[in-house]
Amino acid sequence: MQTVVERDLEMRLVLSTERSVPVPARLIYRSDDPYAVHITFHIGSASPVHWTFARELFVEGVFRPCGHGDVRVWPTRVDGRNVVCTALSSPDGDALLEAPSSAVSAWLERTLRVVPPGGEAEALGLDEKLHALLNTVPDGSGPEETDASGAAPLSGPTLPDRAEAGGRGAWPGDEDGEHAS
């Protein structure tokens, strides 16, 4: 079951050290995309702008400067208020946005309750999907028989061992020419 955590808030687009303008925004987190956060700017307009980046980056950016390249996030104080700054860069231009730290932190805490840090792979069901993929018969007719451990029996061609392959010289990729016997 997918869980969505949303928060509408007003961010500030910094135009200069003296001037900023309000930008309505929506923070979105979806449990079916657990590594990412989505931000939509200019919600309700004819031209909303969507950005997606790592949740981990946003979480870390609440506490300390982080990020490189297109997305950078850091905490600071502006006019006595705690804010989270987000610098975005694209071929279309750059933007510096400020959001109230308390609103961002509360929203992030809600996302972390939905999918705790380190639980992203489980939320995606990768293990189950990989197991199903690896236990499917090549003709797609269904799962193969498995042994007591749940592993499918190996079948098909096998690689020759070193002796069958000529027994001399290093295996490709051995940089120093040494090999195991």
**Does residue 43 form part of some domain?**
yes
Contact 117/43 with Cβ under 8 angstroms? no
Each residue of 78-87: pLDDT tens digit? Answer: 989 999 999 9
pLDDT at 157 over 70: no
Task: Give me the CATH number covering residue 10.
Answer: 2.30.31.20
**Does residue 12 form part of some domain?**
yes
What is the rounded average pLDDT of the residues 135-163? 57
Q: In the chain, how many domains are there?
A: 1
**Does residue 156 form part of some domain?**
no
127 vs 88, more confident: 88
> What is the enclosing helix (H) or strand (E) of 93?
strand 93-100
**Does residue 47 form part of some domain?**
yes
- Among candidate residues 71, 66, 68, the one with its CA nearest the CA of residue 94: 71
pTM, two decimal places = 0.68
**Does residue 177 form part of some domain?**
no
Mean of the per-residue pLDDT values of the chain? 82
Q: What is the distance between the alpha carbons of residues 1 and 65, in angstroms, rounded to a whole number?
A: 34
- pLDDT attached to residue 174: 46
**Does residue 113 form part of some domain?**
yes
**Does residue 163 form part of some domain?**
no
Residue ranges making up the domain that contains 42? 4-127
Q: What is the distance between the alpha carbons of residues 7 and 81, in angstroms, rounded to a whole number?
A: 20
What is the rounded average pLDDT of the residues 12-31? 94
Q: Could you tell me the pLDDT band of residue 31, with boundaries at 50, 70 and 90?
A: very high
**Does residue 168 form part of some domain?**
no
